[in-house]
């Protein structure tokens, strides 16, 4: 158990819809990362927050957004969903910004 | 840009065989290097890491040495077990470009008894 909690584990929805994925980092970790894992693109970094502030952006679409709340949990919002957004979305956390990242078990998003 | 290249899988071995999974990288500066493992239905677990040239990371019988001259970080284990069957990811973090991980495509290892 990594200590990183992601909910829900599975999400099935339709094209055009909007979903919210939630992540609770390990106790004491200030940095949260979001990654997308798909068969064609592999594991790709989406966005990072540190202590409530956005710190880095990767290949995140404009339809996607995220935030980190004062209690340090984070949410990833995906809107206007397309079939190609079907993937496994991972959250990871670390103590600071240079320590190793610890991953949650992911949320599997299926778009029908 | 920064990138990681892993050997294509799947790798199929018998129990107690020697394992090597090749990983090479391209990066500016001095990246930190990692191996993560993903068991079926689970998230990624950090297996080992190295933060500077010639460092050797090790854990659970797995080892990898940070070779700057060959830009490589190959994963090795002397005697694999069935329980080692998983997907292995090589990754780098370039502190100059941020601390997000850049992953290779992963190598599936299947060990039979």
Render pLDDT for B46-90 as a digit per residue (tens, 0 to 9).
999 998 899 999 999 999 999 999 999 999 999 999 999 999 999
Q: Residue A54: name the closest of A74, A71, A29, A36 by CA.
A: A74
Q: Are B94 and B84 in contact (CB under 8 A)?
A: no
Half-sphere exposure in the Cβ direction for B96 (13 Å, CA): 7
- Residues B92-102 have a mean pLDDT of 76
Q: Are B16 and B84 in contact (CB under 8 A)?
A: no
R_g of chain A, CA atoms, integer Å? 13
Q: SS3 for B65?
A: strand
Residue B98 — very low, low, confident or very high, per pLDDT cuts 50/70/90? low
Q: SS3 for A83?
A: helix
Residue B10 — very low, low, confident or very high, per pLDDT cuts 50/70/90? very high
Residue B17 has what DSSP assignment? -
The 10s digit of each residue's pLDDT in A75-96 is: 999 999 999 999 999 999 998 7
CA distance A101 to B35: 11
The 10s digit of each residue's pLDDT in A11-67 is: 999 999 999 999 999 999 999 999 999 988 899 999 999 999 999 999 899 999 999
The residue in chain B having the minimum alpha-carbon distance to the alpha carbon of residue A42 is: B105
Residue B96 — very low, low, confident or very high, per pLDDT cuts 50/70/90? low
Q: SS3 for B82?
A: helix
Size of interface A-B (CB pairs under 8 A): 52
Backbone angles phi, psi at A111, to 5 degrees: -105, 125
pLDDT score at A100 = 83
| Residue A24 sits at the chain B interface (C-beta within 8 Å) | no
| Residues A98, B49: C-beta atoms closer than 8 Å | no
């Amino acid at each position: 158990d990594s200590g990183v909690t992601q909910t829900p584990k599975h999400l099935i929805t339709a094209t055009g819809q909007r979903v919210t994925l939630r992540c609770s980092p390990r106790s004491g970790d200030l940095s949260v990362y979001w990654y997308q894992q798909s068969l064609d693109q592999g594991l790709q970094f989406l966005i990072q927050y540190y202590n409530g502030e956005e710190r880095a952006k990767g290949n995140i679409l404009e339809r996607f957004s995220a935030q980190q709340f004062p209690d340090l949990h984070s949410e990833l919002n995906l809107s206007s969903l397309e079939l190609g957004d079907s993937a496994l979305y991972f959250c990871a956390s670390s103590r600071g910004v240079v320590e190793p990242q610890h991953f949650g078990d992911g949320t599997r998003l299926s778009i029908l | 840009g920064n990138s990681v290249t892993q050997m294509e899988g799947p790798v199929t071995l018998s129990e107690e065989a020697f394992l090597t999974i090749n990983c090479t990288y391209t990066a500016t500066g001095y990246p930190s290097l990692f191996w993560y493992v993903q068991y079926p239905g689970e998230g990624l677990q950090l297996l080992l890491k190295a933060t500077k040239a010639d460092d050797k990371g090790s854990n659970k019988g797995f080892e990898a040495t940070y070779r700057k001259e060959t830009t490589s970080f190959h994963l090795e284990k002397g005697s694999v077990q069935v329980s080692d069957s998983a997907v292995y990811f090589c990754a780098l973090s370039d502190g100059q470009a941020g601390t997000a991980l850049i992953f290779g495509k992963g190598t599936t290892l299947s060990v039979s008894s």
